[in-house]
Amino acid sequence: MLQENRFEAVTQFKMSRTLLGWDLFYVAAYFVDGLLIDTGFARIAQTFFNTLRQREVEQIVNTHHHEDHVGANFLFEQKMKLRAFAHRDAIPLIAHPPHKLKPYRDQTWGVPQAAHAEPIGDELQTPKHKFQVLRLPGHSEDHIGLYEPQEGWLFSGDLFLSVKVRVLRIDEDLQASLASLRKVISLPMSRLFCGSGRVLENPNEALRLKLNFYEELQTRARELRAQGWPTERICDRLLGKEDSFHFLSQNEFAKLHLIKGLLEITHDAGTKPS
């Protein structure tokens, strides 16, 4: 499924893998003023490229290297001689994607083909806009966002999925994620364009609520640990038993990862020593 939506000057391309009539996880790419932000996933790469090749794409940015954000990079490189810009840590990962993914990721997104990328600077210019490149690690070490201060736009990749995300990916750095939330929470924003396809009209409030959720959860987890509760029991008490997605992802996503991450933070939630 590939759906096109307009938000004034920004065009969103919302994608999902359809299985037995059901749309699985959503992911979105965005196009504005010749700039394409992310390129979707491998299983829809040709369809996505065929749609975008008529749009006068002049520049591409990858918010990070995950397979649902770089899937059509190789087509833009082969057919249009366009290389994506990305954080320097993403470049070798885009050039050498994994040979194999966990089954749920392979069936949903597919393994991307190798592509070359170029290091992005601190700013990115289009004919009508100037974007600040924000370092936003946590979801991955190479994660970045694009902020357009005149319009109040933040293209945030996978920084924000929802307010109350109750699982954590096993390789995420929760402390860095919370620091990234704090970094953007006070930016003047009119819209937050998420890699999941969500577009928030009141992003600052949503980001505050998300940070508050983590802080309150951390406080409750620390209180139970101080009473001698084991981590697994704390998780069951605060978040409930693991659900089917935990098993489907083969433990890649788990509520327990979130509780462990919060308990491992030695400073206030959202801060990280420099």
Residue 269 has pLDDT above 90, yes or no: no
Residue 36 has phi, psi (to 5 degrees) of: -105, 125
User: Which DSSP state fits 180?
Assistant: H
Residue of 147 and 54 predicted with greater confidence? 147
**What is the structure's pLDDT at 20?**
55
Residue 271 has pLDDT above 60, yes or no: no
By C-alpha distance, which of 273, 264, 168, 270 is closest to 225? 264
CA distance 247 to 27: 22
Domains of the chain: 2-264 (3.60.15.10)
Asked whether the beta carbons of 62 and 85 are under 8 A apart, the reply is: yes
Q: Give tens-digit pLDDT for 108-151.
A: 999 999 999 999 999 999 999 999 999 999 999 999 999 999 99
Q: What is the DSSP string of 70-98?
A: STTHHHHHHHH---EEE-TTTHHHHHS--
SS3 readout for 229-256: CCHHHHHHHHHCCCCHHHHHCCCCEEHH
Mean pLDDT across 251-258: 97
The mean of the pLDDT values for the chain is 94
Residue 23 has pLDDT above 90, yes or no: no
Residue 274 has pLDDT above 70, yes or no: no
User: Which DSSP state fits 138?
Assistant: S
Classify the C-alpha dihedral 250-263-182-211 as positive or negative: positive
Confidence at 266, pLDDT banded by 50, 70, 90: confident
**What is the structure's pLDDT at 270?**
46
> Rounded to the nearest 10 degrees, what angle do helices 255-264 and 231-239 cross at?
120
CA distance 71 to 259: 32
**What is the structure's pLDDT at 25?**
83
Q: Give tens-digit pLDDT for 94-112.
A: 999 999 999 989 989 999 9
